[in-house]
A and B are shown apart, each in its own frame.
Chain A
Amino acid sequence: MAPDAYEQASDDALLVLYGNGDPAAAELLTRRLAPRVLGYAARLLGGDRAEAEDVTQEAMLRLWKIAPDWRSGEAQVTTWLFRVVSNLCTDRLRKRRGVDLDSIAEPEDDAPGVVEGMIEADRAAALQKALNALPDRQRIAVTLRHIEGQSNPEIAQIMDITVEAVESLTARGKRALAAQLADQREELGYAKD
């Protein structure tokens, strides 16, 4: 297959090619999917990058294993991956709470000048802190909807719940985030935006 054709191929098609023994498909899938998986895992795990990398490698490993049995057109590869990552992260968060609740990584609180307003990294850190305070399912639903850009039906498939349940989780999650972040509005100079 020509290089351009690889670039334009869907994740689904590339996974089938990988399952058929095409070595070029694996590299392209890795470069395409690993950043998204890593970002999502890091957000669910409260910003713990090292643990997010472990989850990313494990999720991709499961993808390679399922490739020979992958049935094209039945599901999107990203939907399948988000589901795997959600489950892996939820398991790790439960174990982590069982050991030490305070060990959840806090975003670095070294916000520099805030006179003219928060820079994007500060906003991201503040949002991560607020996300960490949400119940797991709300955090997963809000992250998938508003950060990863998944649709409600896709989230329903990922979380194995109804679309109505997704809407309820995201609505409650957003209300909680809005309240949490309001505390920091003036402190972080957001009021001047």
Chain B
Amino acid sequence: MPKTDKKPLNDQELDQFFAAMQADDRAPSDRLLSAIMDDAARLQPQPALLPVQPTGAPQRSFLHEVMATLGGWPAMAGMTTAAIAGVWLGVVAPAGLETLSGGLILSQNAGLVDDSFTLDDLVPDDLASSFLTEDDG
């Protein structure tokens, strides 16, 4: 570094040199900007793509779509079983069913049902009969 006998610049004088250099900025050339942006485009990561269904995949029929909506094969099997059971009950008319329903469902004399019961049949004696004859006492 060359020595000098002269008085060094003070901070204020030196700051003017710094300011001059800051103002002396030159813009990058178009060639440089293009080269940088070309690099950016070449190296830029591509956004992740959503998976696409292969074009050769078979399309499902309307019936398959309905079945899938209802729950697939397990649900279809349950519905079929219930339908068959209903038909069987209607055709065979098991004897046990008559017993359980008290003759109301399958009785051939359904019109007589109204005559089959009286008030006494429905209300216990100690409530109905004594209540109605209370005045005698």
Contact = CB atoms under 8 A, between A and B. Distances in A.
Interface of A: 18-21, 23, 26-27, 29-31, 34-35, 38-39, 42-43, 49, 53, 56-57, 60-61, 64-65, 67-68, 118, 120-124, 126-128, 133, 146-147, 174-183, 185, 190, 193
A127 B24 CA distance: 11
A56 B32 contact: yes
Contact of B28 (A19, A53, A126, A146): A53
Interface string B1-39: 111101111110111111111111111110011011101
Given A23-B44, A26-B44, A127 B21 contact: yes
Contacts of B44: 18, 21, 23, 26, 64, 67
B45 to A, nearest CB: 5
A172 to B, nearest CB: 11
Contact of B21 (A124, A179, A180, A193): A124
A190 B13 contact: yes
Nearest to B8: A178
Contact of A177 (B14, B16, B25, B37): B14
Contact of B10 (A19, A60, A127, A178): A178
Contacts, number: 131
Contacts of B17: 123-124, 126-127, 177, 181
B46 interface: yes
5 contacts: A120-B24, A147-B18, A147-B22, A182-B7, A182-B8
A70 to B, nearest CB: 11
Contact of B43 (A27, A65, A147): A65
A80 to B, nearest CB: 16
B91 interface: no
B37 to A, nearest CB: 5
Contacts of B29: 53
B40 interface: yes
B21 A57 contact: no
Nearest to A130: B17
Contacts of B22: 147
B86 interface: no
B2 A180 contact: yes
B4 A21 contact: no
Contacts of A56: 28, 32, 36
B1 A179 contact: yes
